[in-house]
């Protein structure tokens, strides 16, 4: 059995190539249906996100699998191979296992540690299951990828440092206020990045949102989305008396808020801290406001500095995550190799012997009147029963009448039915 992965990603291909090769849900279903008909392909999964397109195949002939992967990309997308061949990568065997685990664990993402990729990998797997193109080998690989990604997030801090401007704004707000619960937010302007920052703030239990926008309809729509209040630009000064956090993102050519505007409201505010996040370029908030007591202004460069520092922290955590990935590769390789008949039969016999001995240890101490001959007779009897029980499955697994792909399905089913991989699952907390 061979595993081959062919594809391209943000690391190898520019966006104009990736967008031409991106698969819709319908195209993914069509591609998997075609691969199901290919006699060289035993199992198939196709990953398509904004940053990658990959075909993962299992079968007996690596060269035939590679041809099948490239062929389906060309046919379904109607693109000649020469248009994207320079951007392709190829992984086989352990390298393919490792790549899938790294992708699911967000170690191969454009933003390392981002959480969306795991959901996208799960979606691809569901599509393969729906198309009946995955089987015992890829099912196991993807489930191992999911558990590896879970370990990466649980055991490292890879997702714990803000690496977007909107998240960084929330992190800075927490440094100032400690707890955001009950804080009032004033949003001036309403570009998408500011909306994301508001969304994160509200998710962190900020209490109230006021939205000021030159277009009142836009302000009202955004306020309604977060259960807030729309106000006019002329009401900003009054809103500053109660707000704790101000996010500004207008397209104004000059400052929307100047030092005197803020100075005028600090006395009514009784000098409570006021935090400004200026996402606009040109800037909306006069930086000299920072000179006022309890007023804090951060612009996009300040936020970018936080993002850069946090990205460095994530890369340190990524090194720890790579160790988890390597453990998963070794574990999966061990299981993959066990999909041969002989290791499975040995594991089956070992399992049955362990059960037999455990039952004897439980029962014999209660039979104190038994002599040595009777104990040996019981031992022979239980061995004979065990041999009878495993004889049928062993003959079936050894049968030469099965197609190779089908035989692996049977071996996988036998390993599941007799719980031959339970020790391995326990080691990985599954």
Residue numbers annotated as active site: 50
Round the CA-based radius of gyration of the chain to a whole number and report it: 30
**Using an 8 Å Cβ cutoff, are 131 and 32 in contact?**
yes
101 within 8 A of 146, measured Cβ to Cβ: no
Tokens standing for 272? 């409570």
118 vs 49: CA distance, rounded Å = 11
Task: Specify the DSSP class assigned to residue 24.
Answer: P
The answer to whether 266 and 295 are in contact (CB under 8 A) is yes
Residue pair 277/166 in contact by the 8 Å Cβ criterion: no
CA 16 to CA 254: how far, in whole Å? 36
Give me the DSSP letters along 141-204.
HHHHHHHHHHHHHHHS-TTSS--SHHHHHHHHHHHHHS--TT-EEEEES--HHHHHHHHHHHHT
What span, in angstroms and rounded, lies between the C-alpha atoms of 154 and 190? Answer: 35
Q: Which residues pair with 6 in a beta bridge?
A: 55, 90
* Furthest C-alpha separation in the chain: 103
């Amino acid at each position: 059995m061979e595993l081959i992965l062919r594809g391209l990603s943000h690391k190898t291909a520019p966006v104009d190539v990736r967008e031409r090769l991106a698969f819709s849900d319908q195209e993914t279903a069509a591609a998997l249906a075609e691969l199901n008909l290919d006699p060289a392909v035993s199992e198939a999964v196709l990953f398509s996100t904004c940053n990658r397109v990959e075909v993962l195949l299992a079968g007996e002939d690596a060269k035939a699998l590679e041809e099948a992967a490239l062929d389906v990309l060309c046919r379904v997308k109607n693109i000649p191979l020469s248009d994207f061949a320079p951007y392709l990568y190829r992984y086989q065997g352990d390298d393919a296992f490792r790549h899938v685990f790294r992708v699911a664990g967000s170690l191969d993402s454009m933003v390392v540690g981002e959480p969306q990729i795991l959901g996208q990998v799960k979606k691809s797997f569901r599509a393969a299951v729906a198309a009946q193109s995955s089987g015992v080998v890829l099912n196991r690989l993807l489930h191992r990828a999911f558990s590896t990604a879970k370990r990466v997030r649980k055991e490292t801090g890879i997702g714990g440092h803000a690496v977007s401007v909107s998240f960084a704004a929330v992190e800075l707000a927490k440094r100032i206020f400690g707890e955001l619960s009950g804080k009032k937010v004033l949003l001036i302007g309403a570009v998408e990045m500011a909306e994301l920052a508001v969304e994160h703030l509200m998710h962190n239990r900020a209490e109230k949102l006021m939205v000021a926008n030159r277009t009142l309809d836009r302000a009202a729509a955004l306020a309604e989305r977060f259960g807030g209040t729309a106000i006019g630009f002329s009401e900003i000064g009054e809103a500053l008396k109660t707000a704790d956090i101000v996010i500004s993102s207008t397209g104004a050519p000059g400052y929307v808020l100047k030092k005197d505007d803020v100075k005028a409201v600090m006395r009514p505010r009784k000098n409570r801290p006021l935090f400004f996040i200026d996402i606009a370029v040109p800037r909306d908030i006069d930086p000299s406001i920072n000179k006022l007591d309890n007023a804090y202004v951060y612009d996009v460069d300040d936020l970018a500095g936080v993002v850069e520092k946090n990205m460095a922290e994530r890369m340190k955590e990524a090194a720890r995550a790579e160790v988890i990935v390597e453990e998963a590769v070794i574990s999966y390789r061990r299981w993959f190799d066990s999909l041969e008949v002989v290791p499975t039969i040995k594991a089956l016999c070992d399992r049955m012997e362990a059960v037999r001995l455990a039952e004897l240890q439980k029962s014999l101490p209660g039979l104190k009147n038994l002599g040595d001959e009777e104990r040996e007779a019981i031992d022979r009897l239980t061995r004979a029963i065990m041999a009878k029980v495993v004889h049928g499955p062993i003959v079936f697994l050894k049968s030469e009448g099965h197609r190779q792909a089908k035989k692996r399905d049977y071996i996988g089913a036998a390993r599941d039915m007799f719980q031959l991989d339970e020790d391995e699952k326990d080691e990985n907390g599954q």
